Amino acid sequence: MAGELATTNLLLGIMAAVSVLEGLVIIGVAIGGFMAYKKVMEVVNGIEARQVAPAMVKVNAILEDVRAVSAKVKDETERVDYAIHSTMDRIDNTADRVRSNVRAKTSRFVGLIRGLRVAIEGMLHSEART
């Protein structure tokens, strides 16, 4: 029985040593991972400072230009729309005045023609009765 106990103690000691080694390896991997993360973040920050920041400045400048052009186009569109509507209103008013002037000047002539027609019809009907 003493031999079995010595074997069991030896195996437990080996397992304890392996567990300690595994713990040390895990701690080493964690430290290595943290160091790699730190270096990657430094690289990312460097790329951001060298590449992304200047690009963002250019993009913001372009967006400001687009906003300015859009505002100008909107203002010009409103101005042209107002001009078209006011021109259409003036054309409608002119057409109404022309129409009323033509009616006023032609109404006498139309009345004369209608009177002549009634007179001619009256004469034709009176001749047809005799």
pTM of the model: 0.44
- Tokens 């023609």 correspond to 113
Using the predicted structure, report yes or no on whether residue 129 has a pLDDT greater than 80: no
- What b/e readout covers 41-51, taking b as 16+ CB neighbours within 10 angstroms? eeeeeeeeeee
- Is pLDDT of 126 > 80? no
- DSSP symbols for 40-91: HHHHHHHHIIIIIHHHHHHHHHHHHHHHHHHHHHHHHHHHHHHHHHHHHHHH
The contacts found for 23-31 with CB under 8 angstroms, 24 or more apart, are none
Report d(CA 65, CA 25) in Å as an integer: 57
Mean pLDDT of 28-37: 96
Specify the pLDDT at position 48: 84
* 123 three-class SS: helix
The pLDDT value recorded for residue 56 is: 87
For residues 64-76, give the mean pLDDT.
93
